Amino acid sequence: MSYPIIDSHCHLDFPKFNRDREETILRAREAGIVGMINSGITLKGNQISLELSEKHEDIHATLGLSPDIGRGGADEEINDILAQIEANAGKAVGIGEAGLDFQDCKTNEERERQTAAFKKVIELAKELDKPLVVHARLAEAEVLKLVRDIDTVIYHCYSGPAETMQEIVDKGYYISLATLVCFSEHHQALAEAVPLENLLLETDSPFLSSRKGRNEPAFIVDSIPVIAQLKGMDPAEIAKSTTENARRAFNI
């Protein structure tokens, strides 16, 4: 059974799709996917995301700055990406992903550097009045403190505590759950708790596959029956609501 559904976060620009990118996009459409939000995180990735969105009506680009670059990249690289985001924002449906990943930050200096780069992205999202897609790992509450002035925030691949999720939802922000929900008890508990009007679904392709090997947008369909069962709802209703939420969040 296929439902019209939007994959609210994927990385079709990544090299893992170089050999069969167009076939992957076709498979997604055949599975009922009516939109894919492709999230850039590097200078090159942002450029490919823009090219994909120009070529395909059902692919929409967000332009971001990887937390890894924020933590370890040269100032010149960070500034080039920020300038690229600003120059091309009109062709993008959102800013991000960008954020904090404290899993890989070994020192306070790295945290401060990552936070400083993220703050610059936040300022851009504010100035450009665009939705902000955030990456927050072991830093969900820290990110929430920083983004409070942004109208629309999407917590991509949310994996944090249920208590912080409630605070995020109370702000009217979106929780995007990845295909992890198909096999992770923690994510299933989050899916059960999150209000339907705040929920988005994503694959985070090529990562976090619900099947063996590489993830791809077509596999978003695996999440729907799982979440429907957890919420005691009809799968078609889950698909319809999360797709409407994605259209509203990204204004598409």
pLDDT per position as a tens digit, 195-246 = 999 999 999 999 999 999 999 999 999 999 999 999 999 999 999 999 999 9
- Is the full-model pTM beyond 0.85? yes
Report which of residues 105 and 191 the model is more confident about.
191
Does pLDDT of 65 surpass 80? yes
Main-chain dihedrals φ then ψ at residue 133, nearest 5 degrees: -95, 120
90 vs 78: CA distance, rounded Å? 20
| 242 token code pair | 């999360």
